Every structure is written in C-alpha cells, then in structure tokens.
C-alpha cells in the first residue's frame, strides 16, 4: 500500500501530495500490526477474565445478579 500525505495551503488554496518514503511506510505497517496484536491480546485477556468469573460463579452456584447483590 502506498501512503500519501495531503497538505492543504489555506492561503493559496493549493493541495500538495507527498508520498511517504519506504521507511515511513514500513513504520506505518509495523504500527498497524502492533495495534492489531494489542487488540487481540486485550480480547484474549477479556475472554479469560470472563471465563474465570463464570467458573467462580458456577462453583458458588450463584448468578451474576446474586453475586452483585452480595458484593454491592
């Protein structure tokens, strides 16, 4: 993918397009991959936390509402 920066000059009304260098494009791609990996990690952690919570509730034999009443 080619990345382009559009620069608008409000005084002249001209728009200039500057193509990113290969290094800048590689950095963008790296940042996208890191962001996607972080999102997947957060999703996995959230699923694990929910599974742990559900296991505790099942072990106690109470519903989530009953637990919130007890803890609330």
Domain borders along the chain are 4-71
pLDDT at residue number 37: 98
**Distances from the Cα of 11 to the Cαs of 6, 35, 66, in angstroms?**
15, 37, 64
Per residue in 14-67, pLDDT (tens digit) is 999 999 999 999 999 999 999 999 999 999 999 999 999 999 999 999 999 999
pLDDT band per the 50, 70, 90 thresholds, residue 72: confident
For residue 60, the model assigns a pLDDT of 95
Question: Alpha helix (H) ranges present in the chain?
Answer: 22-60, 64-71
pLDDT at residue 63 in the model: 93
Contacting residues for 4 by C-beta, under 8 A, at least 6 apart: 17, 18, 19, 20
Asked if pLDDT for residue 1 goes beyond 90, the answer is: no
Instruction: Please count the other Cβ atoms lying within 10 Å of the Cβ belonging to residue 3.
Output: 13
């Amino acid at each position: 993918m080619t990345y382009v920066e559009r620069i608008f000059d409000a005084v002249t009304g001209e728009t200039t397009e500057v193509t990113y260098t290969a290094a800048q494009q590689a950095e963008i791609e790296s940042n996208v991959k890191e962001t996607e990996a972080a999102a997947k990690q957060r999703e996995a952690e959230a699923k694990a936390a929910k599974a742990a919570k559900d296991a505790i509730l099942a072990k106690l034999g109470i519903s989530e509402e009953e637990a919130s009443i007890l803890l609330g």
